[in-house]
Amino acid sequence: MNAIFEKLQTCRQYIRSRTDFIPKVAIVLGSGLGDYAKKIQIVAQVPYTDIPDFPVSTVPGHAGRFLFGHLGEVPVVCMQGRVHYYEGYPVSDVVLPIRLMGLLGAEILFLTNAAGGVNPSFHPGDLMLIRDHIALFVPNPLIGPNPNELGVRFPDMSTVYDKTLQEIIRTSARENAIFLQEGIYTQLTGPSFESPAEIRLLRLLGSDAVGMSTVVEAIAANHMGIRVCGISCISNLAAGMTANPLTHEEVQEAADKASVRFARLVTESVRRMGQEVRRNPCKRNKSGI
Ligand code: HPA
């Protein structure tokens, strides 16, 4: 059996010894957005440290546990804190939690992050719908023997961010009077913030926002047939766009300020996604569930 799939089976068995909850939507809460977890009516929680061989988040502002429960009527699993490539884990471990949530039943992955605004028309506190992504200097999470149990060797990435889910997020924003930017998110490795010259490069490449997560997760999810969508909370303008140096505290504070709008947008979108999953149940059968 493929080593990655074997590890996933061990993790899945452990989670199943704690809960038989089957989520439909998986949500990843980014830096400073972890408080959103309070909206969930929790059925079970599993700290990452309890799961055998599981990568553990070391970043302040990332609690490090799975929450299983309901958002309204919709069964969800929520990652309160993610692991990042810059923490030193191999990229296959960085995406392990995403794959695990898929194996536990999630049909939709809702990614969130805090990001630097590269587009000069963005403001700190803006929310941005991710339309597409660029992976720059981060290894592809699918490198290595392909876990055929999950997906194909050469998966298509022409529509990673599901068009129907994008439309659901747009509609939810419009109907709740939430201003929504849209754009391309670029993942770099971090952990240092970028230089002003790198930000100019990203702008030339067509990037609107920059961060240190999300893209590898989206690739792994798309590989195994999970429908993906994402929102960035623009926590700051990227390096060189203002006179101020960047700090992680600033990122968390800006996410705090956007948290009411963020919460409403996620809650409304997930409610509609619950209906979408009922209308269009997942046809994927690679995941062994
Ligand atoms: N750069 C990279 N990652 C980030 C930033 C940034 O400016 N802001 C929040 N995460």
What mean pLDDT is predicted for residues 13-31?
A: 95
For 192-229, the pLDDT digits (tens) are 999 999 999 999 999 999 999 999 999 999 999 999 99
Predicted local distance difference test score (pLDDT) of residue 227: 97
> Which tokens is 258 given?
């956007």
Residues tagged active-site: 31, 62, 84, 86-87, 114, 212-213, 236, 248
The response to whether residue 100 sits with its C-beta less than 6 Å from ligand 1 reads no
Residue 284 lies in a domain: no
* Residue with CA closest to ligand 1 atom 6: 116
Our CA angle for 263, 270, 183, nearest 5°, is 75
Which mutation among 119, 194, 208, 232 tests ligand 1's pocket best, with the greatest number of atoms within 8 A of CB? 194
The response to whether residue 214 sits with its C-beta less than 6 Å from ligand 1 reads no
Residue 287 lies in a domain: no
Which mutation among 123, 186, 246, 247 tests ligand 1's pocket best, with the greatest number of atoms within 8 A of CB? 246
Share of the chain above pLDDT 70, in %: 97
Question: What is the pLDDT confidence band of residue 158, given thresholds at 50, 70 and 90?
Answer: very high
Residue range(s) defining the domain that contains residue 32: 3-145+153-277
The response to whether residue 251 sits with its C-beta less than 6 Å from ligand 1 reads yes
Nearest alpha-carbon partner for 107 in 282, 273, 260 = 282
Helix (H) or strand (E) holding 215: helix 215-223
What mean pLDDT is predicted for residues 229-244?
A: 93
Total domains, the chain: 1
| Residue whose pair of structure tokens reads 């609107």 in the numeric block | 208
Nearest atom of ligand 1 to the alpha carbon of 251: 9
Residue 286 lies in a domain: no
Residue 194 lies in a domain: yes
User: Can you give the pTM of this predicted structure?
Assistant: 0.95
What mean pLDDT is predicted for residues 144-149?
A: 96
> Which tokens is 4 given?
């990655």
Tell whether the model's pLDDT for residue 4 goes beyond 50: yes
For residue 96, what is the domain's CATH number?
Answer: 3.40.50.1580
For 90-118, the pLDDT digits (tens) are 999 999 999 999 999 999 999 999 999 99
Q: Please report, as a single letter, which amino acid is at residue 275.
A: Q
Question: What is the pLDDT confidence band of residue 255, given thresholds at 50, 70 and 90?
Answer: confident
The response to whether residue 114 sits with its C-beta less than 6 Å from ligand 1 reads yes
Share of the chain above pLDDT 90, in %: 81
Residue 283 lies in a domain: no
Nearest atom of ligand 1 to the alpha carbon of 236: 8
3-state secondary structure of 14: helix
Tell whether the model's pLDDT for residue 283 goes beyond 80: no
Predicted local distance difference test score (pLDDT) of residue 57: 74
The answer to whether the beta carbons of residues 148 and 2 sit under 8 Å apart is yes
* Residue with CA closest to ligand 1 atom 10: 115
DSSP state of 243: S
Strands 74-80, 180-187: pairing is unpaired
Instruction: Calculate the average pLDDT of the chain.
Output: 93
